[in-house]
Amino acid sequence: MKFRCERDALVEQLGTASRAVSSRGGALPVLTGIHLAARDDLLTITGTDLEITVRASVSVAVTEPGEAVLPSRIAVDIVRSLDSGAVEVEVSGEEAKIVGGRSQFSVRTLPVDDFPVLADPSGDEVTVATADLAAGLKQVVRAASSDDARPILTGVLMSAEDGGLRLVATDSYRLAVRDLPDATVLSEGQKVLVPSRALDELSRVLGESEEVRVRLGEREVTFNVSVKDGEVQVTTRLIEGEFPNYRQLIPSSYPNQLTIGREPLLEAVRRVKLMARDTTPLRLTQKSDCVELMAVTQDVGQAHEEVDAQYDGDELTVAFNPDYLIQGLEAALGDEVVLETLDALKPAVLRSSQGGDFLYLLMPVRVS
């Protein structure tokens, strides 16, 4: 295998594909490698940990078609270290030569036959506008759990809802729901659970593309995006199992409603959080014309701030993990949000004051 290409394009695509490479190969050492295939003036770079596969392609000048597996970390580091300009890669036997400017590297390759053969994506292709999906993912993915002991909660539920697409994620402390009314990806009644890590990778490459092509198979889903330097494909195994029945968690009515400017509240929360160390929660005392924020950490100090607001309900103090509240406020749409509460121990709802397609359910922290 031998090809030449632009260093900047190669860095970009190599970096993207390498993010799926597992840091430790476990039973299959070849998985620490990155697969390169050159033919028809196209280089296809594949990294996988068997759960998530990222394939990035870039146009190159192929002198000699072929394929090889290079140790991922070192290949990425080498190419990144080179100056902009032409890079030449040549693989013969068990050795890969990488040449850029006056630098030359030779790297021992990994056995190409050991690299798993990845099935071509199945299912019909549908397209979704990138702008919608990107915004939805940004709002929802962060609410998913990162605890591998609870695999179901590490996923984002994608379900067909009134002809559109609904994204739902929860780590059991908060729940984010976003409706994309114009995205018809799934057929009515269909729902899949997609690992949030894969969607996080997808979000990173969405960038300036206009549309995302989605193919849903039996056990996996594939997203294709055109990027500046070529094409990126993210394929991920679907999570099996039943997502919690989130609808029953959302109370139908709330006695207390706080209407408040999103940005002023967000800024105040970020400030007061400075005095909320470790597990200290942030207390919100809701009064008729304002909300009082307070954080007290023993032996460190305290912070207090009032933000103007409009409040309907009985005076109520409720405490939250400040990070969860911040993430909810960042994700919420519009200039004004409504925080609805029942009491200090029941879930609160955060949404835009104009209604809309985003809802954030947040569980309080019990303070004694």
Partner 1 sequence: MGDLPILHVDMDAFYVEVERQTDPSLIGKAVIVGGESERGVVASASYEARSMGVRSAMSSVLARKLCPDAVFVRSNFSRYREVSKQVHEIFDSVTPHIEPIALDEAFLDISGAHKLFGSSETIAWQLRNDVYVGVGLDCSVGVARSKLLAKLASEAAKPKATRRGVQPGLGVYLVPPQEETSFLQAHPVEALWGVGSVTFAKLKALGISTVGELALVPEDVLVETLGTSHGMHLSELSRGIDHRRVHSKRKSKSISHEETFAQDVFDRSHLVSEIIRLSDAVSTRARRKGLAGRTVHLKIRRPDMRYLTRSVTLSEAVDILPVISETAIEMLDQLDLAEGVRLLGVGLSRLGAPGPQQLTLVGEELSDPAWGQLSAAMDRIRERYGEAAIGPGLPRKNEGMND
Q: Which is nearer to partner 1, 79 or 175 (CB)?
A: 175
Q: According to the binding rule CB under 8 A, does residue 328 interact with partner 1?
A: no
Rounded Cα–Cα distance for residues 275 and 280 (Å)? 8
Q: According to the binding rule CB under 8 A, does residue 193 interact with partner 1?
A: no
User: Minimum distance between the CB of residue 281 and partner 1, rounded to whole angstroms?
Assistant: 5
3-class SS at 18?
helix
Q: Which is nearer to partner 1, 137 or 276 (CB)?
A: 276
Q: According to the binding rule CB under 8 A, does residue 154 interact with partner 1?
A: no
Q: According to the binding rule CB under 8 A, does residue 24 interact with partner 1?
A: no
List 173, 191, 211, 352, residue binding partner 1 (CB under 8 A): 173
Phi, psi of 239 (to 5 degrees): -85, 130
User: Minimum distance between the CB of residue 45 and partner 1, rounded to whole angstroms?
Assistant: 31
Q: Which positions ≥6 away from 204 have C-beta within 8 Å?
A: 16, 19
Residues 257-296 that bind partner 1 (CB under 8 A): 278-281
Q: Which positions ≥6 away from 194 have C-beta within 8 Å?
A: 155, 156, 158, 221, 236, 238, 239
Q: Which residue has the tokens 């594949």?
A: 46
List 170, 235, 236, 341, residue binding partner 1 (CB under 8 A): 170
Q: According to the binding rule CB under 8 A, does residue 366 interact with partner 1?
A: yes
- Tell me the site size for partner 1, rule CB under 8 A: 23
Give the binding range for partner 1 (CB under 8 A) out of 6-14, 51-59, 109-117, 166-174.
166-174
Q: Which residue has the tokens 């295998």?
A: 1
Phi, psi of 365 (to 5 degrees): -105, 130
List 50, 131, 249, 274, residue binding partner 1 (CB under 8 A): 249
User: Taking the C-alpha atoms of 144, 146, 148 and 153 in order, what is their torsion angle to the nearest 10 degrees?
Assistant: -10
Q: According to the binding rule CB under 8 A, does residue 364 interact with partner 1?
A: yes
Q: Which positions ≥6 away from 219 have C-beta within 8 Å?
A: 237, 238
Cβ–Cβ < 8 Å for 21, 32 = yes
Cβ–Cβ < 8 Å for 176, 169 = yes
Q: According to the binding rule CB under 8 A, does residue 322 interact with partner 1?
A: no
Q: According to the binding rule CB under 8 A, does residue 174 interact with partner 1?
A: yes
Q: According to the binding rule CB under 8 A, does residue 253 interact with partner 1?
A: no
User: Minimum distance between the CB of residue 174 and partner 1, rounded to whole angstroms?
Assistant: 8
- CA distance readout (Å), 201 to 50, 195, 225: 15, 10, 12
User: Minimum distance between the CB of residue 158 and partner 1, rounded to whole angstroms?
Assistant: 20
Rounded Cα–Cα distance for residues 365 and 361 (Å)? 13
Instruction: Report the relative pairing of strands 355-362 and 348-352 from DSSP bridges.
Output: antiparallel
Closest CA to 12 of 44, 48, 58, 47: 58
Q: According to the binding rule CB under 8 A, does residue 345 interact with partner 1?
A: yes
Q: Which is nearer to partner 1, 203 or 285 (CB)?
A: 285
List 58, 137, 347, 357, residue binding partner 1 (CB under 8 A): 347
Buried/exposed code over 38-52 (b: 16+ C-beta within 10 A; e: otherwise): beeebbbbbbbbeeb
User: Minimum distance between the CB of residue 136 and partner 1, rounded to whole angstroms?
Assistant: 21
Q: According to the binding rule CB under 8 A, does residue 156 interact with partner 1?
A: no
Q: According to the binding rule CB under 8 A, does residue 145 interact with partner 1?
A: no
Q: According to the binding rule CB under 8 A, does residue 359 interact with partner 1?
A: no
To the nearest 10 degrees (0 to 180), the angle between helices 322-331 and 262-273 is 160
Give the binding range for partner 1 (CB under 8 A) out of 109-117, 229-237, 350-358, 359-367.
359-367
Residues 301-320 that bind partner 1 (CB under 8 A): 319
**Which x/- pattern, by CB under 8 A, does the window 215-244 give for partner 1?**
-----------------------------x
Binding site residues, partner 1, CB under 8 A: 170, 172-175, 244, 249, 278-281, 298, 319, 321, 345, 347, 361, 363-368
